[in-house]
Amino acid sequence: IKKVKIAVAHGDGIGPEIMDATLKIMEAAGAQIVTEPILLGEQAYLAGNTSGIAPETWEALHDAKVILKSPITTPQGKGYKSLNVTLRKTLGLYANVRPVRSLSPYIHTHFPKMDVVVVRENEEDLYAGIEHQQTQDVVQCLKLITRPGCEKIVRYAFEYARLHDRKKVTCMLKDNIMKLTDGLFHRVFDEIAAEYPNIKSETQIIDIGAARLAARPEEYDVIVTSNLYGDIVSDIVAEIAGSVGMAGSANIGFRVAMFEAIHGSAPDIAGQNVANPSGLLNAAIMMLRHVGQTEVAKTIEDAWLTALEGGHHTADIYQEGVSVRKVSTSQFAEVVIACL
Amino acid sequence: IKKVKIAVAHGDGIGPEIMDATLKIMEAAGAQIVTEPILLGEQAYLAGNTSGIAPETWEALHDAKVILKSPITTPQGKGYKSLNVTLRKTLGLYANVRPVRSLSPYIHTHFPKMDVVVVRENEEDLYAGIEHQQTQDVVQCLKLITRPGCEKIVRYAFEYARLHDRKKVTCMLKDNIMKLTDGLFHRVFDEIAAEYPNIKSETQIIDIGAARLAARPEEYDVIVTSNLYGDIVSDIVAEIAGSVGMAGSANIGFRVAMFEAIHGSAPDIAGQNVANPSGLLNAAIMMLRHVGQTEVAKTIEDAWLTALEGGHHTADIYQEGVSVRKVSTSQFAEVVIACL
Ligand SMILES: CC(C)[C@H](C(=O)O)[C@@H](O)C(=O)O
Ligand SMILES: CC(C)[C@H](C(=O)O)[C@@H](O)C(=O)O
């Protein structure tokens, strides 16, 4: 196989540690990739790039087709723009795909049968970043929704369901209040759902939808929703399945795709070799599938599962009576490699 | 005691049935109230009032100090404004208070120790209802946040905590993205928290906050948040405690207060005498406390608990092995009355 070029951002906080673990596992498994490091995040911010992205990184990003990214830290209190949002918007990464399933009994969850994929719109909504100070005491933020934006994400969700043999797509919105914006998303959902008669479709108001999802996640399959709701419900499903530390995500565009963990850079535990690399590793597994290296992806996934089943758990998921051994970040990587 | 005048909206869907049950229980318990029916909702909409509120109802509302309201149905597809939102804004009901606690083992929950009060901002945010169609394909909704709005709700939350001997107030926002709007709420939270050194305070990003709340609700005490996040997290806590059908809420203003269940009018089961009146009954209990009839409030609450502990459960919470008897709406009311 020809080696695939991957732009790799090592990130901040626990980023470098989990990236190190992930790259070692991929290498040991024989992934056919060439990595090119790019600098994003804290250092770039502090060097004066208000977007957190240095000019030379922009060049690399525009050449890249595949990006693997660790979480980054945005320095506080300077009004810096979110780098994640800038990347998603600038690179046109319109679909944020976040699969989560139960690993019970190896990882404790109340919901041993849950298996949910959140397909989150990734460019619009309140994340457009349009905020104004109206008066000293009045501020506003614009929630922006477009028909093409809705069409792209809803179609992606149904195509995802079709290709992955999923049975149902649930759309969650608050269109009883936001009749124009969420109403447009709902209309587009109904239009596109009609083109997929073999996939069940339903819409739920986000309040009760999120509540049922938290109480009975087994009832859900694929969920499609707008950016902010998707941010919230994807963290919910990951956490009730065991930990947000376990979930990876794919940010999909027409030209380029970026893979990352769904959690943040956790500066409080940085440099201690205790973080769970599973989120980023799952992102890497999605990445390998994306570039057609499905076999090595499967090999890594199986080894990862075997490591977890063996009870080798990092501190965040360590649980008396379920776990066998508390392992560090690098130890966990070694166990996964031994299981390959 | 002087009887307190209550404006009562019987509502739509299951509204009249659960109101009937609630009023019967209050009467049997000796609540000192005089009810004055007001017409809100479906019939008013269909009679041509686009707000769902007839002119004569407005007069009654402006006289009322206390309102007990059943859920209403907004007819579909006519672009009608939400009556709930109109009432909350017009009457200045700035604080939406939603207490939820576990009734384990009588009602099944994974979280037997949870006891959470969501204090939800009730007038601003995306609920301001300011939406525009920009082009055929572009729509927007304005999220509006004001300093006085933030101050009122945050102060309410801390005063609530102080008066109810609560230990901690958690604020949930997305100010890493919405730096001006959610940032203002966060700043006001920090300012007011500093005035209450005996109450623990913390802030969480709404994504991980909602996720932890869904996974470990016992870690939370009072939650204060803006309107839309509060809508979502209050449904989550109610549902994971057993059912959104159980929770009541108080909408508090400086001049008037309105009490209602947190669930909707459930037209699908209307008229069948199967709905759970507990949400509205809990709202009524909050109402009686609000008007100083604390003893009768306690009597009703105890009887309600005794009925549930006896296993008399409506269909929504009926569970094999936990429940003893499946009761109708009116039967449940009779059991509560017998327990008074
Ligand atoms: C870090 C933050 C900007 C980001 C988001 O809100 O999208 C994160 O929460 C996520 O879900 O990827
Ligand atoms: C019916 C709807 C307008 C309302 C809301 O969104 O506030 C409801 O969900 C609630 O929580 O009271």
Summarize pLDDT for B98-108 with one digit per residue, the tens: 999 999 999 99
Q: pLDDT, tens digit, for every residue of B93-133?
A: 999 999 999 999 999 999 999 999 999 999 999 988 889 99
Residue of A nearest to B214 (CA): A214
**What is the rounded average pLDDT for all residues in chain A?**
95
Contact B146 A137 (CB under 8 A): yes
For strands A248-252 and A95-101, give the pairing. Answer: antiparallel
CA B96 to ligand 2: nearest atom: 12
Q: pLDDT, tens digit, for every residue of A222-267?
A: 999 999 999 999 999 999 999 999 999 999 999 999 999 999 999 9
Residues 6 or more apart whose CB falls under 8 angstroms from that of A162 comprise A196, A199
Q: Which CATH superfamily is domain A110-241 in?
A: Isopropylmalate Dehydrogenase (3.40.718.10)
Asked, as a colleague might, if the bond just before B105 is cis with ω within 30 of 0, I would say yes
Give CA separation, A6 vs A90, A249, A286, in Å. Answer: 18, 16, 13
Q: pLDDT, tens digit, for every residue of B265-298?
A: 999 999 999 999 999 999 999 999 999 999 999 9
Gap between the Cα atoms of A38 and B155, Å rounded: 46
CATH topology of domain A1-98+243-340: Isopropylmalate Dehydrogenase (3.40.718)
Name the DSSP letter for residue A53: B
The closest alpha carbon to A339, from A305, A315, A297, A311, belongs to A305
pLDDT at position A1, please?
A: 67
Gap between the Cα atoms of A176 and A186, Å rounded: 11
Structural domain boundaries in chain B: 1-94+245-340, 110-241
- A-B contacts (CB, under 8 Å): 154
Contact A79 B145 (CB under 8 A): no
pLDDT at position B1, please?
A: 67
Gap between the Cα atoms of A117 and A100, Å rounded: 6
Give the number of other Cβ atoms within 10 Å of residue B294's Cβ.
12
Give CA separation, A271 vs A14, A72, A266, A279, B201, in Å. Answer: 6, 14, 10, 17, 28
Going from the Cα of A84 to the center of ligand 1, the distance in angstroms, rounded, reads: 7
pLDDT at position B77, please?
A: 65
Q: What's the whole-model pTM score? A: 0.96
CA A205 to ligand 2: nearest atom: 9
Residues A42/A72, Cβ–Cβ less than 8 Å? yes
Compute the C-alpha angle B168/B172/A273, nearest 5°. 90
Same fold, A1-98+243-340 and A110-241: yes
The residue ranges of chain A whose pLDDT is under 70 are 1, 77-78
Domain B1-94+245-340, CATH: 3.40.718.10
